[in-house]
Structure 1
Amino acid sequence: MGRQQPTFKPYNQHQLMLLPPSLEELIPKDHACRVVNDVINKISLEPLNAAYHTTGSSSYHPQMLLKVLVYGYVSNIYSSRKLEAACKESIYFMFLSSMSYPDHNTINRFRGVRLKNALRAVFEQVVELLAVEGFLSIEEVYTDGTKIEASANKYTFVWKKAIATNKEKMKKQLAHIWEYAQSVAASEDNLPDPPDLTTINKEKVQQTVDKLNQVLSGKGNLDKKMRAKLGYVTKHYPANIERYEKQEAILGERNSYSKTDPDATFMRLKEDHMKNGQLKPAYNVQISTSNQFIVNYSIHSNTTDTNTLAEHIEQHENSFGAAPKCITADAGYGSEENYTLLEGKNVTAYVKYGLFDKRQSRNYNSKHPFSADKLFYNAAADHYICPMGQKMRYVGNSRRKTVTGFEQTARLYKAINCQGCPLNGVCHKSKGERIIQVNVNLERLKKQADELLKSEEGIEKRKKRCFDVEPVFGNIKGNHGFRRFMLRGKQKVEIEWGLLAIAQNIRKKAA
């Protein structure tokens, strides 16, 4: 008896269909591409339409391109060439593009040029739509930042310290040659006055070089080394100082930038694959979230979170007409400037300061028994009492400005006599009398922060911050593999992160 043949389902690639299936039938009802389609259909594209010319040949519809681009970021496809291929290979992209096949140049030009002045408005409409549907709150947000590597060469850089060092070398070399010129032409009555090289610029360097050549020209007995130095200085110094001044203009308040992306600053990244804390060109990305939806974002070249909050809040005001009513953030934002800013805007600030967590430790008081905040203050007489019971009297104020120009004022209190005190060396480490600085305004703001953070609502918000804003970065960088920008320049990086923010919100809504 022969072996029984297995039974297979019919398979015929050339079978004709009376009613071929549509893309609508092939895509599940709850698929993310449908959410992208519904959300983009509900928002106004008037800001995007303004980026197109009214004359000339027809263009792909911006609504279609926006859907393709957003769904690409939802599904971890960031390359314009891969998006071009997906429009021909994926039923989800075919559904969104309505069987249109834009090439990678069209997609890239749409992302880098057309969206330049329109994407922020698109993002804001998506946020407001989600707020109306009850998914998020625009008024109560959680703020944090992360550093993401720029699309720049990490070996072509400019450092502010290197420029300062080279300028000092130039000053010393010019001063050295001038001293030699004075010794050579000491007998001449018309010897020019020596230049002031306290600070140097392009004009001063050029004038100094011209004077040196004027004094030393025609002198036949010049030292060969000095003649060579003068030739080098004449040839290179004016061009070098001009280059340094241009670089300093790009640097601004920063310490470094990449030559291939001047907006990117060198920062230490936690996700360094070399595991050696290598500095890389990067951007500081700030976001505010609500229920893990991104409400606001801003891109910065500052390496620290402290100096980004003012600009970030300003962006929130520009987007939604007012600052948030409540903000929760970690100790990276707890500065006098930020507390003052939030107080002035009537924002309830659940923001930690630097020592907040340490002060909650039971061992803090025993480890720092003589710190300034432990000393007794007599408000009526305006003096502190040192650990030995002696008065520390007010002796004046100390003022300093931060890198952002914010002025801080501290009151100084000095001990009367620390010589021979049994606590000398333990109470303080200075050689003379102990002086403490008390920033009255900052201490007042810290006290307000303490009261808010230790309240029931504050404790709840501190707990929620850890699983509201931080997982958003983890999701984008870890789960969706976005650890490096593809575009260069701050303006284009903002477009790229805006697409990521929209994609994050749509993914969250779809979930």
Structure 2
Amino acid sequence: MSQEIRADYSQMWMFPPSLEDLLEKDHPARFIREFVDALDLQALGFRMRKGEEGRPNYAADLLLKVWLYGYLERIRSSRRLEKACRQHVALMWLTGMHYPDHNSLWRFWKDNRKALKGVFRQTVRVALNAGLVDMVVNALDGTKIAARASTDKAWFQKKLEKRLQQLDFLLDQAIKEVEEAEKQESGEYRLPQELAEKQKLREKIQESLTQLKEQGRESMHPAEPEAPMMKTREGKKLGYNAQAVVDSKAGVIVAGDVTTDQNDVRQLVPMLETVHSTMGRVAEETVADGGYFSGEQLEQAHKAGFPVVVNLEQVRKAEEEGGPYHSSKFFYDSENDCYLCPRGEKLFYEGVRKHKDKTYAVRSYRCTCARQCPVRWDCSQDRRGRCIARSPYAEAVQRQQEKQQEKSKADLLRRRMVIAEPAFARVKHWLDFRRWTMAGLEKVRSQWLFVCALLNLGKIYSVWRDGKLQLA
């Protein structure tokens, strides 16, 4: 008859256990140790602290291993990491049974914030050497991640103005009541104290509105003023826009950054420049969704020699919905610097003007035979005749449209989703990273690259586990 298995707390070991016996040979903690031991931390800019008096410092490599493995286990708080170092077998193994306190862990992160970015670059180089990156096709994408500061406690101009009006009304009423009470001299009256509290609150609200006005913003959190309001699937929240460029071969992230821009329109070229800085070149093709479409960015990419394929869905949709006289149906004659309408009439250059929705000037071309045109009101409601605004980046957009006529380029756009989006899915589901634990743009940039490094290490670990990669 079998017996139930129970713990025997009086059992003794003949020999004390070795640290090496605590983990299996292919445990992720062993991989983390090999990766960090292979790094030249001093060359990466890590502070190598040496204390001549008192208790010795914790080594930089030990603390880096703790942070890396902690993030892998979704532990991103220095206090929780301190606790885990005493309870988590893998962390006990990584630290050699040393137990760094939360102050040491946080000080290491704060002092080496810039150097931590170098860890990400090292993961890219290791992945490249392991054959996980080929730079044939890269995909660019972004995601909004909530700021550490609470959206509920942010200042909102409209709400503050409404609250200020309510306080002004209450203060007026309170002052009248005080004056009436003084006239009647009806004994002790406690409203002046309440009046002072309301007046103090009013001054705070007025001060908040002044700060919002000075910065030209409609919302802001006083503890994290750099975090703007972002549109997310859960509604508007304080947050930052995290960007990543993913290589198609194995899903390795080759570049990452964080911006306060609420959309991706201006991120195409900056991210490609980041890739070039890290890899020494850009991919043979980089694909991006329609959120990155910008004639200005396409032109800059062309001048820099960056091959890109950007989804033009919004352009095609506008053309389809625009009818037979949409501007796309007008042909530009570069030799004569004029436009030809669908009926063959010419629109002549009339000057340069500033576009109401753009930061740059556009060239205007206007029809001169509108009065005789039988379709003038179908073409335009402008009494002076149809006007076409030509962007200085029109040729860049046209080049992109012609490029996407190739089936191979159109196929790349369909592949974009399966290249880039799994990386963000792993960030939010595998690592459960949905909110920054740091505050401020530069700090969240360091944290994002650290998270990207973890994703890359996950890819490299698979090769290391199969015995196909030696790090040390």
Q: TM-score, normalised by structure 2?
A: 0.78
Q: Is the 8 A contact 1:385 1:392 kept in 2?
A: yes
User: 25-34 or 318-327, which moves further after superposition?
Assistant: 318-327
> Residue 60 of structure 2: which of 41, 51, 62 is its match?
62
Q: Is the 8 A contact 1:287 1:296 kept in 2?
A: yes
Aligned to 2:387: 435
Q: CA deviation at 1:243?
A: 8.1
Which residue identity lines up with residue 144 of structure 1 in the other structure?
Answer: D
Aligned to 2:14: 18
Which residue identity lines up with residue 294 of structure 1 in the other structure?
Answer: I
Which residue identity lines up with residue 280 of structure 1 in the other structure?
Answer: K
Q: d(CA) in 2 for partners of 1:457 and 1:35?
A: 39
Q: CA deviation at 1:65?
A: 1.0
Name the CA shift for 1:162/1:413 in 2 (closer, same or farther; >3 Å). farther
Q: d(CA) in 1 for partners of 2:415 and 2:323?
A: 31
Q: d(CA) in 2 for partners of 1:370 and 1:336?
A: 22
> Residue 395 of structure 1: which of 350, 361, 367 is its match?
350
Q: CA deviation at 1:264?
A: 0.5
Q: TM-score, normalised by structure 1?
A: 0.73
Aligned to 1:151: 148
Q: CA deviation at 1:257?
A: 3.2
> Residue 122 of structure 1: which of 116, 119, 123 is its match?
119
Which residue identity lines up with residue 30 of structure 2 in the other structure?
Answer: R
Q: d(CA) in 2 for partners of 1:89 and 1:59?
A: 22
Q: CA deviation at 1:297?
A: 0.9
Deviations 1:463-510 (A, max 9, x none): 321111111111111333211111111122122212211111112223
Aligned to 2:423: 472
Q: CA deviation at 1:31?
A: 2.5
What is the root-mean-square deviation in Å for CA atoms of aligned residues? 3.5
Identity of aligned residues (%): 27
Spell out the pairing of 1:361-400 with structure 2 (5 A cutoff): 365=320, 368-399=323-354
Q: d(CA) in 2 for partners of 1:66 and 1:347?
A: 35
Which residue identity lines up with residue 423 of structure 2 in the other structure?
Answer: V
Q: Is the 8 A contact 2:117 2:450 kept in 1?
A: no
Q: d(CA) in 1 for partners of 2:96 and 2:291?
A: 47
Secondary structure at the aligned position of 2:291 is classed as helix
Name the CA shift for 1:19/1:80 in 2 (closer, same or farther; >3 Å). same
Q: CA deviation at 1:420?
A: 6.8
Spell out the pairing of 1:439-454 with structure 2 (5 A cutoff): 439=391, 441-454=392-405
Deviations 1:52-80 (A, max 9, x none): 36655421111111111111111212222
Aligned to 2:75: 77
Q: Does 1:459 align with 2:418?
A: no
Which residue identity lines up with residue 107 of structure 2 in the other structure?
Answer: R
Q: Is the 8 A contact 2:242 2:256 kept in 1?
A: yes
Q: d(CA) in 1 for partners of 2:315 and 2:357?
A: 22
Aligned to 2:368: 416
Aligned to 1:102: 100
Q: CA deviation at 1:426?
A: 2.3
Q: d(CA) in 1 for partners of 2:60 and 2:289?
A: 40
Spell out the pairing of 1:239-318 with structure 2 (5 A cutoff): 256-270=219-233, 272=234, 277=235, 279-290=236-247, 291-318=250-277
Count of residue pairs the alignment pairs up: 422
Q: d(CA) in 1 for partners of 2:27 and 2:381?
A: 66
Name the CA shift for 1:8/1:369 in 2 (closer, same or farther; >3 Å). same
Aligned to 1:482: 433
Q: Is the 8 A contact 1:414 1:434 kept in 2?
A: yes
> Residue 26 of structure 2: which of 23, 30, 33 is its match?
30
Q: d(CA) in 2 for partners of 1:240 and 1:388?
A: 61
Q: d(CA) in 1 for partners of 2:32 and 2:357?
A: 44
Q: CA deviation at 1:121?
A: 1.4
User: 472-481 or 49-58, which moves further after superposition?
Assistant: 49-58
Q: Is the 8 A contact 1:328 1:465 kept in 2?
A: yes
Name the CA shift for 1:424/1:281 in 2 (closer, same or farther; >3 Å). same
Q: CA deviation at 1:145?
A: 0.9
Deviations 1:362-413 (A, max 9, x none): xx6586211112124444443333344433222122345998xxx6343211
Aligned to 1:332: 291
Spell out the pairing of 1:162-177 with structure 2 (5 A cutoff): none
Deviations 1:277-327 (A, max 9, x none): 3x2210011111113222111111111111233443443344445555542
Aligned to 1:198: none
Which residue identity lines up with residue 494 of structure 1 in the other structure?
Answer: R
Name the CA shift for 1:24/1:434 in 2 (closer, same or farther; >3 Å). same
Which residue identity lines up with residue 342 of structure 1 in the other structure?
Answer: A
Secondary structure at the aligned position of 1:117 is classed as helix
Q: CA deviation at 1:88?
A: 1.2
Q: Does 1:134 align with 2:113?
A: no
Name the CA shift for 1:422/1:142 in 2 (closer, same or farther; >3 Å). same
Q: Is the 8 A contact 1:415 1:434 kept in 2?
A: yes
Which residue identity lines up with residue 67 of structure 2 in the other structure?
Answer: L
Q: CA deviation at 1:255?
A: 5.9
Q: Is the 8 A contact 2:114 2:446 kept in 1?
A: no
Q: d(CA) in 2 for partners of 1:481 and 1:389?
A: 59
Name the CA shift for 1:156/1:395 in 2 (closer, same or farther; >3 Å). same
Which residue identity lines up with residue 507 of structure 1 in the other structure?
Answer: G
